[in-house]
């Protein structure tokens, strides 16, 4: 810095100084570095060039030296400023010694103990010097329970150079006269240095918990890929609008309402039938057939049905719309009056109907409304007959409401209703109740003819029209009595299936007889040969379970799905499916996800992109082929088990349209259609209103579904499936998908456990190694290297402390090779599929990629139960994290980035798909069935709730399959309320254990007095486990309190002591505190907020990402 020449003066001089500019003199030059080039070296090896720095005020000079050497011959003395004199420096050390290199110990510590530490005997004391920044970092010590570096503090064992910049140790005999030198101690009393320092091993996360964590994530990713990949396609085009001309291409439209006893009584049947009749399509050009199938075999149900049909017969024919128009209008209003009824109001447990409900259910309320709203009051006497019919139904429903008389067990009961004038409507009504013979409980309930079963005999030349007549002569096979086979007739089981599918097949056979062999139901043959014979056309078969009521627009919404955009019948459409809707349970109050919202509002819509929605039984409509044999309804089936007839290897059974070999006939029948290349349509509208059972009954349904999936999977994989038609020949397609999935999971595990830079196709010899290197690795390597070089530049370039990015380059190359291999495999599959397209008339193999996607969906339906253990794993993994200090560590920034990207992609996928179909439905139908956060929350709850149910079902399902395989037992039906009580008990105690365990983890965390590092690693496990417990809290409290019937009046009469000792009172308090809208709102938002905040919690502590990894892969019950 310079200083001024101006002298000191007064104020004026100071002011003048401020305006006068003078030169500056510098006491020294700034630091400079002088470089010189192209200098000729002298011959003397000991000589070296000399450099002189000159200065001048101008280029012209004069130039003068700034520094001059003290001694021109000295090579080590520094120069002095020119023009000055200084003391002569005398060198005491020869120049060659000055230039000699020496080892300078920069970190050295000397330890001199001044007191006695520890017990007497050998003593080792180590001193460790650390960076001051580490010592002064208060954040690193805020959770420490000990003072910083207290005297005698315990530390981690050697080597110490992983934390110390300098370390030394003294050793000797303390507080004793023994002078023996201890081990590892030199003669000077110092600990040998090699015992204090040593190689520091690189820390890896190659721990068993980490491998388990990675593998489970990979399994979840693979399953999620299978579930969501159909979303890349676009739905099949179809006809969007109903017209009566569409029905000309159909033989009939059949709607079946199934009642099976229990809660399904007369009121349930009437409500169900009202909905089926209301769906009568306008100006229908084919028969619209309604069949009530009564599986309970109760006589009063048939009488009630006859009274209902009398109302239809009494419908007035006056007015501009005629009989059918009046019928449709009346039933539309009747549906509005009954659609929101509940099972607890009209079900089988009700002894007497409420008068208001009775009027609505019998049609009285509807008749009063229609007189006012549509001026039916002007019809006068034309309504008298209708009034009488409604009064008769009202009387029947009000008398002995749920008291029934069994029909003759071994006989079928059928009734038919036809309109007074066949031409005035296409509506036809039928009632069926197949034989339900008494069976000896000592015998196995089998599907073939065996001891204890009932059968009838069929001649070899029997015609289909004789079917009902032959069934009227049943007999029982009795033990120790010989069979009468002398007449040559074949035995056919009277009731081969005891489940719902058996009843559906009975109706299918009965209706086919009615409309194939009864002249009054046949259409006139076309005069023109080019016209289609309507009697040979396919038919539609809709299923409406008794607790569900079709809405008036059900048929006009579903029928067009079976036709292409030109209005022609598309025989590749197997069925349509509409969602199940229970209006009595809102999303907030649907504690056990009775509405199955995530499946219908997300998964089904994604599957619909490739036509792969699976049938869910009710609300489904199937296309029945029209080319089935009409002269017989019996078919041959290979015997699965040995029976008393050792000659025949086949058995005769009645024709089956729906599978009877497992409890999920809808999924089994869907699989048949998928294997032959047919597809489905999902109609995302509330076309049916259901009456829910008690919500806890849904747990029993979960168990039934898993049992059925296990049985069906084992049947197909063991080649024992009762496949229909061409589906049996295409069984290898299912194995292709299974093997492909196994290889995909194997490749994912190989990606993260094995180091490789070559494709698996090269390793097995399918691709030449040099070609792969030339066309794949060489083009990719420069780009990968350039990317990481840019990253290095962003971090400051290459330095001695730079990261080595070579390993990251290898990892990136390995991942790209994996992607290329997958794309190559996909390309081969695409080539094979397009090859099959060229020969699709000759071979029945997948000729479009959507077919493969549907096979993936079927594979998922069969095997989702395999992953039931994942809920146990994530719970156990978090308990492990909460109880034991972690032996692994992830960088918080890397883990946060991973979690953030995964969370954003997950919710982006859900939201985009949901919005995609919301827009489609809003445009097409002006109706939105959206996926809310409640639905996602409930699905996450089910992931942890149903794990033990599915585990239990694995055992029972395997047992069912073995009984089916070895004994031919009928496992298509279910009894005992789906073992609902067992399922409820399992979930109650399981969720209670989760909640108690989360509390126990917190207690143990504080009781075990962990160190600061242990506390940091264990606390995230406790927090994540607490969130899981919070998710299952609602279902747990609901299941424990749902049966509690303690009223407020009873509470008011209880004393304080009685209340405190009453379990009913405590249950009521828990239900009041937790099962309310306020608490529900808090919980349902905490879970999504936690999922969104998780990546940021990971930034604070990376162990949050490990414990909550399930949030990235869970998608619902068992998935």
pLDDT tens column, 427-455: 999 999 999 998 888 888 888 888 888 99
pLDDT in tens, 635-651: 888 777 766 555 557 78
With a pLDDT cut of 70, the percent of the chain lying above it is 83
Tell me, what DSSP letter sits at residue 592? Answer: T
Distances (CA, A) of 661 to 437, 667, 715, 722: 20, 11, 9, 7
Q: Is the dihedral of CA 883, 887, 893, 899 positive or negative?
A: negative
CA-based diameter of the chain, in Å?
148
In terms of DSSP H, where are the helices of 314-435? Answer: 322-338, 343-346, 355-362, 364-373, 384-398
Where is 294: in which H helix or E strand? Answer: strand 287-294
As a whole number of angstroms, the distance between CA 538 and CA 529 comes to 19
Report the distance separating Cα 905 and Cα 911, nearest Å: 10
CA gap 867, 759 in Å, rounded: 29
The closest alpha carbon to 242, from 790, 683, 823, belongs to: 683
Look at residue 423 and give its three-state secondary structure.
helix
**For all residues of the chain together, what is the average pLDDT?**
82
E-strand ranges in 533-642 read: 539-545, 548-550, 573-577, 620-624, 634-638
Q: Tokens at residue 1097, please?
A: 């919690």
Q: Which two tokens stand for residue 275?
A: 């909905």
- Pairing mode, if any, of strands 548-550 and 688-690? antiparallel
Q: Check residues 758 and 239 and name the one with the higher pLDDT.
A: 239
Which of the listed ranges 41-45, 151-155, 1049-1053 does the model predict with the highest average pLDDT? 1049-1053
Cα gap 1021→1024, rounded to integer Å: 5
Which residues are within 8 A (CB) of 674 and not within 5 positions of it... i.e. 6 or more apart? 574, 612, 854, 855, 857, 858
> Residue 431 — φ and ψ, nearest 5°?
-130, 130
Element (H, E) at 45: none
Q: Categorize the per-residue pLDDT at 93 as very low, low, confident or very high, splitting at 50, 70 and 90.
A: low
Does position 510 have pLDDT exceeding 50, yes or no?
yes
Q: Rounded CA gap, 610 and 862, in Å?
A: 18
- Closest by Cα among 887, 901, 906 to 1103: 887
pLDDT higher than 60, residue 145: no
C-alpha to C-alpha distance for 430 and 418, rounded to whole angstroms: 9
4, pLDDT greater than 50: no
How many other β-carbons are positioned within 10 Å of the β-carbon of residue 1087?
Answer: 21
pTM of the model: 0.79
List CB contacts of 255: < 8 A, sequence separation 6 or more. 276, 279, 288, 289, 290, 291, 542, 544, 550
Q: Which position has the higher pLDDT, 897 or 71?
A: 897
DSSP string, 919-953: HHHHHHHS---PPPHHHHHHHHHHHHHSHHHHHHH
**Residues in contact with 423: Cβ distance below 8 Å, sequence separation at least 6, in sequence order:** none
CA distance 10 to 24: 22
Q: Crossing angle of helices 933-945/869-883, nearest 10°?
A: 80
More confident residue, 1100 or 97: 1100
Quote the tokens at residue 185.
């101690």
Distance CA 52, CA 414 (A): 124
Identify which of 875, 881, 893, 873 has the alpha carbon closest to the alpha carbon of residue 1017.
Answer: 881
Peptide linkage before 159 cis (omega within 30 of 0): yes
Would you say residue 246 has pLDDT above 60? yes
Residue-level pLDDT at 271: 94
Determine the Cα–Cα distance for residues 1113 and 1049; give it in Å rounded to an integer: 48
3-state secondary structure 632-645: CCEEEEECCCCCCC
pLDDT tens for residues 824-880?
A: 899 999 999 999 998 887 888 899 999 999 999 999 989 988 988 988 998 999 999
Least confident residue range of 441-455, 537-551, 1083-1097, 1099-1113: 1083-1097
Q: When comparing pLDDT for 917 and 313, which is higher?
A: 313
Mean pLDDT, to the nearest integer, of 248-271?
91
Q: Which of 328, 220, 345 is nearest to 274 (CA)?
A: 328
141, two tokens: 């010590």
Q: What does the buried/exposed string (b/e) look like for 530-539 if buried means 16 or more CB atoms within 10 Å of the residue's CB?
A: eeeebbebbb
pLDDT at 1056: 86
- Supply the pLDDT for residue 34: 73
Peptide bond before 62: cis, by omega within 30 degrees of 0? yes
**What was the pLDDT predicted at 518?**
86
Only one residue has tokens 């299936």, namely 497
Euclidean distance between CA atoms 228 and 226, whole angstroms: 6
Structure confidence by residue, pLDDT tens digits, 945-995: 888 888 898 998 899 899 888 888 888 876 545 467 888 888 889 999 999
Residue 129 DSSP symbol: E
Q: Is the dihedral of CA 550, 553, 559, 561 positive or negative?
A: negative
Q: State the DSSP code for 8.
A: -
Interacting residues of 1055 by C-beta distance below 8 A, sequence separation 6+: none
Instruction: Look at residue 262 and tell me whether its pLDDT is greater than 70.
Output: yes
Helices and strands in the chain: count of H runs, count of E runs: 37, 21
d(CA 884, CA 889): 14
Asked if 479 and 692 count as a contact pair (C-beta separation under 8 A), the reply is no
Task: Mark out the alpha helices in 697-805 (DSSP H runs).
Answer: 697-717, 731-753, 760-763, 769-772, 778-794
Q: How far apart are CA 406 and CA 404, in angstroms?
A: 6
Count of CA atoms in the C-beta half-sphere (13 A) of 676: 16
pLDDT of residue 827: 92
**pLDDT value of residue 312:** 94
* Higher-scoring residue by pLDDT: 202, 741: 741
Task: Indicate if the pLDDT at residue 413 is higher than 90.
Answer: yes
3-state secondary structure of 163: coil
Per-residue pLDDT averaged across 662-668, rounded?
88
Of 140-149, 325-334, 833-842, 931-940, minimum mean pLDDT range? 140-149
Residue 277 has pLDDT above 90, yes or no: yes
pLDDT average, residue stretch 9-34: 49
Q: Distance from CA of residue 433 to its chain's centroid? A: 40
Distances (CA, A) of 353 to 257, 360, 689, 988: 22, 11, 20, 33
Nearest-angstrom CA–CA distance, 81 and 316: 128
The confidence score (pLDDT) of residue 1046 equals 81
Predicted confidence (pLDDT) per residue in 575-585, tens digit: 999 988 888 87
In this predicted structure, the answer to whether residue 926 has a pLDDT above a threshold of 50 is: no
Give the strand pairing for 67-68 and 80-81.
Answer: antiparallel
Structural contact between residues 690 and 548, judged by C-beta atoms closer than 8 angstroms: yes
Show Cβ contacts of residue 1046 under 8 Å, excluding neighbours closer than 6 positions.
1064, 1065, 1067, 1068
Task: With a cut of 70, say whether residue 943 has pLDDT above it.
Answer: yes
Residue 428, H or E segment: strand 427-433
| 156: CB partners within 8 A, 6+ apart | 163
Stretch 253-261: mean pLDDT: 91
CB distance 990 to 743 below 8 Å: no
Q: How many residues does the chain have?
A: 1119
* pLDDT for the residue numbered 208: 86
Tokens of 680: 């489905």
What is the spatial distance between Cα 1105 and Cα 527, in angstroms, rounded to a whole number? Answer: 74
């Amino acid at each position: 810095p310079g200083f001024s020449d101006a002298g000191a003066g007064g104020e004026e001089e100071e002011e003048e100084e401020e305006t006068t500019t003078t030169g500056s003199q510098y006491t020294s030059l700034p630091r400079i570095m002088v470089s010189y080039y192209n200098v000729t070296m002298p011959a003397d090896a000991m000589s070296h060039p000399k450099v002189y720095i000159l200065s001048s005020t101008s280029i012209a000079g004069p130039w003068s030296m700034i520094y001059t050497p003290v001694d021109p011959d000295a090579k080590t003395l520094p120069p002095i400023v020119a023009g000055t004199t200084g003391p002569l420096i005398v060198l005491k050390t020869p120049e060659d010694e000055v230039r000699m290199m020496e080892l300078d110990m920069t970190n050295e510590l000397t330890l001199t103990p001044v007191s006695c530490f520890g017990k007497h005997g050998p003593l080792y004391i180590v001193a460790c010097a650390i960076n001051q920044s580490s010592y002064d970092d208060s954040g690193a010590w805020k959770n420490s329970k000990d003072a910083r570096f207290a005297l005698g503090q315990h530390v981690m064992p050697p080597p110490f150079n992983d934390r110390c910049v300098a370390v030394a140790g003294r050793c000797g005999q303390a507080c004793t006269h023994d002078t023996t030198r201890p081990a590892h101690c030199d003669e000077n009393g110092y600990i040998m240095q090699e015992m204090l320092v040593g190689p520091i091993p690189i820390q890896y996360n190659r721990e068993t918990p980490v491998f388990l964590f990675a593998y489970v994530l990979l399994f979840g990713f693979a399953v999620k890929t299978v579930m969501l990949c159909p979303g890349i396609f676009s739905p099949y085009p179809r006809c969007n609008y109903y017209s009566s001309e569409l029905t000309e291409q159909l033989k009939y439209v059949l709607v079946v309402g199934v009642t099976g006893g229990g809660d399904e009584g007369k009121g349930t049947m009437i409500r169900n039938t009202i909905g089926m009749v209301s769906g009568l399509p306008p100006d229908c050009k084919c028969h619209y057939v309604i069949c009530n199938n009564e599986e309970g075999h109760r006589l009063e149900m048939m009488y009630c049905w006859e009274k209902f049909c009398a109302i239809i017969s009494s419908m007035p024919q006056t007015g501009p719309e005629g009989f059918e128009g009046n019928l449709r209008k009346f039933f539309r209003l009747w549906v509005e009056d009954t659609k929101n009824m509940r099972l607890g109001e009209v079900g089988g447990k009700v002894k007497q109907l409420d008068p208001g409900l009775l009027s609505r259910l019998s049609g009285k309320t509807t008749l009063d409304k229609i007189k006012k709203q549509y001026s039916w009051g002007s019809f006068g006497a034309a309504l008298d007959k209708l009034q009488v019919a409604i009064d008769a139904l009202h009387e029947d429903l009000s008398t002995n409401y749920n008291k029934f008389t069994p029909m003759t067990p071994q006989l079928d009961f059928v009734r038919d209703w036809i309109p007074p004038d066949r031409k005035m409507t296409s509506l036809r009504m039928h009632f069926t109740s197949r034989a339900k013979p008494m069976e000896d409980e000592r015998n196995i309930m089998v599907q073939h003819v065996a001891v204890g079963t009932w059968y009838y005999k069929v001649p070899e030349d029997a015609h289909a029209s004789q079917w009902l007549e032959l069934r009227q002569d049943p007999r029982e096979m009795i033990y120790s009595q010989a069979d009468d086979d002398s007449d040559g007739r074949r035995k056919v089981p009277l009731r081969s299936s005891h489940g719902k599918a058996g009843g559906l097949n009975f109706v299918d056979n009965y209706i086919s007889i009615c409309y194939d062999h009864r002249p009054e139901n046949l259409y006139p043959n076309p005069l023109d040969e080019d016209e289609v014979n309507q009697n040979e056309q396919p038919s539609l078969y809709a299923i409406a379970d008794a607790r569900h009521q079709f809405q008036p627009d059900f048929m006009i919404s579903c029928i067009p799905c079976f036709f292409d955009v030109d209005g022609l019948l598309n025989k590749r459409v197997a069925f349509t499916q509409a969602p199940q809707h229970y209006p009595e349970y809102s999303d907030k109050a649907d504690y056990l996800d009775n509405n199955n919202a995530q499946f219908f509002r997300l998964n089904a819509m994604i599957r619909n992109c490739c036509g792969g929605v699976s049938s869910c039984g009710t609300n489904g409509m199937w296309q029945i082929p029209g080319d089935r044999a009409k002269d017989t309804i019996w078919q041959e089936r290979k015997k699965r088990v040995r029976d008393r007839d050792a000659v025949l290897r086949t058995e005769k059974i009645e024709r089956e349209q729906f599978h009877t070999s497992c409890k999920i006939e809808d999924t089994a029948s869907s699989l048949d259609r998928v294997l032959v290349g047919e597809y489905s349509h999902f109609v995302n509208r509330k076309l049916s209103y259901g009456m829910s059972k008690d919500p806890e009954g849904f747990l029993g349904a979960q168990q039934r579904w898993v049992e059925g999936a296990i049985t069906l999977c084992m049947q197909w994989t063991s080649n024992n499936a009762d496949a229909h038609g061409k589906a049996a020949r295409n069984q290898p397609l299912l194995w292709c998908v299974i093997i492909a999935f196994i290889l995909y999971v194997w490749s994912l595990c190989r990606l993260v456990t094995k180091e490789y830079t070559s494709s698996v196709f090269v390793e097995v010899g399918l691709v030449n190694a040099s070609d792969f290197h030339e066309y794949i690795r060489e083009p990719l390597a420069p780009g990968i290297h350039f990317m990481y070089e840019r990253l290095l530049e962003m971090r400051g370039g290459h330095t001695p402390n730079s990261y080595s990015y070579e390993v990251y380059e290898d990892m990136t190359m390995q991942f790209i090779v994996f992607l290329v291999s997958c794309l190559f495999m996909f390309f081969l599959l695409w080539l094979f599929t397009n090859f099959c397209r060229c020969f699709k008339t000759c071979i029945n193999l997948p000729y479009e990629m959507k077919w493969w996607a549907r096979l993936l969906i079927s594979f998922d339906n069969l095997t989702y139960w395999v992953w039931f253990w994942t809920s146990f794993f994530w719970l156990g993994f978090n308990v492990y994290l909460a109880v034991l200090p972690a032996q692994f560590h992830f960088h918080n920034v890397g883990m946060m980035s991973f979690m953030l990207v995964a969370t954003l992609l997950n919710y982006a996928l859900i939201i985009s798909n949901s919005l995609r179909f919301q827009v489609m439905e809003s445009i097409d139908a002006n109706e939105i069935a959206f996926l809310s956060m409640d639905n996602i929350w409930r699905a996450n709850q089910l992931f942890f709730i149903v794990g033990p149910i599915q585990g239990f079902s694995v055992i029972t399902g395997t047992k069912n399959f073995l009984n089916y395989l070895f004994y031919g037992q009928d496992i298509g039906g279910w009894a005992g309320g789906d073992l609902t009580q067992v399922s409820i008990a399992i979930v109650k105690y399981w969720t209670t254990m989760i909640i108690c365990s989360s509390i126990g983890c917190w207690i143990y965390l504080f009781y075990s007095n962990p160190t600061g590092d242990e506390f940091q690693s264990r606390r995230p496990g406790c927090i994540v486990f607490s969130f899981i417990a919070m998710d299952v809290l609602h279902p747990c409290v609901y299941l424990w309190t749902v049966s509690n019937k303690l009223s407020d009046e009873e509470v008011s009469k209880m004393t304080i002591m009685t209340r405190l000792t009453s379990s009913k009172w405590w249950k009521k308090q828990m239900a009041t505190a937790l099962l309310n809208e306020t608490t529900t709102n808090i919980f349902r938002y905490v879970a999504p907020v936690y999922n969104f905040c998780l990546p940021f919690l990971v930034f604070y502590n990376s162990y949050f990402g490990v414990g909550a990894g399930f949030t990235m892969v869970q998608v619902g019950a068992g998935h």
